[in-house]
Structure formats: C-alpha cells, structure tokens
Structure 1
C-alpha cells in the first residue's frame, strides 16, 4: 500500500511528540534549541544521503510502501521526514537521559545549576 511508510513515520513522530509534551524533555523545554538541532541534523543527513547517492553507495530500492515521489534521483519524499524524526527522537532521548542523570545523588544535568537547560 503506497504511503504506509510515511504514515508509520508520522504516527511514530506523534508518539514522540506526546512523550515530549508530557515530560517536557526537548521542544517544550527549549523550543528554539530543539528546532535548530532538528534542522541542522536533518540537513546534515540529507547532505550525507546526497553524497551517498552520488557515489552509488545509497540506492532507493523498490518498495510498494513508498509513495513513489522522489525529491531527487534515489531520494524518496519520505527520507526528510524519517531524518527529522530520527533527529527529534535523539534530542528527546538525550533530554530523558540528562533528566535521569540529574536525579542521581550529587549530580546535575548539563546546563544550568538547577539541572534545566535554557
């Protein structure tokens, strides 16, 4: 079924957004920094993909799960969504790990003395 991969990415992203909203781990704690991190990470990985495609290392392959729309040769439209999801997941996981580390006796999370990043 075309589009199921993109739907899966969006549903997964919605789950991470819900976790982030509930626990205030990334975007709800520092929206500008989170957005900048996601944009920089996604851009980095899109450039990485472009280099991999240009050198013949990355090939799209055929799948009925993709929409069939390419942004460039061998670069399906789903790729930027996946990369942004991956970057957001990493930022949220980092926020969770920092919070867990800050709860350990005698420790504080990276950032301000109160354990919160600005």
Structure 2
C-alpha cells in the first residue's frame, strides 16, 4: 500500500506525456527546450519546498499510501515526482491552449464562427 501515491503520480505523468506525444505539444515538439523548462521548474519548486521546510511551513504528512522514503528531512520521495508532473502538466495545458486559441483565431479570420 506504501507505493500507491508514487504509482498514481507516475501513471498520471505518463498520461500527460501520452497527450504530449499525440499532439506534439511540449517534449515531442522541442525536447531540449522542454527538458530545460522541466529542470528549471523542478529546481525552482524544490528550492521553494526546501525554504518552506526550513521555515517550518511545510511538513510531511504521515500517509499510508506514501512510500515513507525521505530524500531530506520532511522531503518525501514523491515530492520531486509530483513537481515534475506539475511542470509537465502545466506546460501541456499551456501549449495546448495556445494551439486551440490559434486555431480559433485562424477560423475567425476566415469568416468562420469561433
């Protein structure tokens, strides 16, 4: 039962990557830029988490669905996986929204209804 959260994160991350692959939105559009954005986003949020932990704001919950493995005090193994999911999900949604809005603008420009 201790890997349920980690497994759920990995499955949902996989689903985001499948959407990305299908519509070529982020990694399948420009793998180098996507890798840089993902690593910078992960680093930013890890620094944020570490600052919150050091300030006594963030605490690790005692969940039976978590692995219990800590990378640092109050920093569970699942946290960086969640942060990568957060960055990838955000970028897939963002790039997908840009594509949809561009298509709507082109359609409206041709005299179609949006």
Would you say same fold, with TM above 0.5? Answer: yes
Give the corresponding residue for 2:92: 92
Give the corresponding residue for 2:48: 48
Give the corresponding residue for 1:111: none
TM-superposition CA deviations, 1:43-92 (whole Å, max 9, x none): 10000000000010000021111111100000001100000010001111
Q: How many Å separate the matches in 2 of 1:28 and 1:16?
A: 12
Task: Specify every segment of 5 or more residues in structure 2 that has no aligned partner in the other structure, as ranges.
Answer: 108-114
More helix by share: 2
Give the corresponding residue for 1:74: 74
Give the corresponding residue for 2:111: none
Please state whether the residue corresponding to 2:105 is helix, strand or coil: coil
Alignment of 1:94-109 (within 5 A): 94-106=94-106
Give the corresponding residue for 1:8: 8
Q: How many Å separate the matches in 2 of 1:19 and 1:26?
A: 10
Task: Specify every segment of 5 or more residues in structure 1 that has no aligned partner in the other structure, as ranges.
Answer: 108-118
**TM-score under structure 2 normalisation?**
0.90
Q: How many Å separate the matches in 2 of 1:91 and 1:105?
A: 21
- Runs (4+) of structure 1 exceeding 3 A deviation are none
Q: How many Å separate the matches in 2 of 1:105 and 1:18?
A: 26
CA RMSD of superposed structures (Å): 1.2
TM-superposition CA deviations, 1:20-44 (whole Å, max 9, x none): 1111111111111111111000110
Q: How many residues align?
A: 107
Please state whether the residue corresponding to 1:103 is helix, strand or coil: helix
Q: How many Å separate the matches in 2 of 1:43 and 1:68?
A: 22
